[in-house]
Homo-oligomer: A and B are copies of this chain.
Amino acid sequence: MRKKDLNKEECILQSSLTLITTQGLSNLSMSKIAKASHVSPATIYIYFKNKEDLINKLYLKTKEKMSESIFTTVHYQQNLKEQYRQIVTNFIHFNMENENEFLFLEQIQNSPVLDSETLKESDEMFSTLFNLYTVGKQKKILKNSDSRLLSTMTSSPTMEYVKLFHKKQVEGSPEEIKDLIIMCWDAIAKK
Measured CB to CB, the residues of A under 8 A from B are: 1, 24-26, 40, 106-107, 109-113, 143, 145-146, 148-149, 152-153, 155-157, 160-161, 164, 169-170, 179-180, 183-184, 186-188, 191
Contact = CB atoms under 8 A, between A and B. Distances in A.
A157 B49 CA distance: 35
Contacts of A183: 143, 145, 149, 153, 187-188
Contacts of A164: 146, 148-149
Nearest 10 A/B pairs, CB to CB: A156-B156, A187-B187, A24-B112, A152-B160, A152-B157, A153-B157, A106-B110, A26-B26, A152-B156, A149-B157
Contact of A187 (B26, B107, B153): B153
Contacts of A153: 153, 156-157, 183, 187
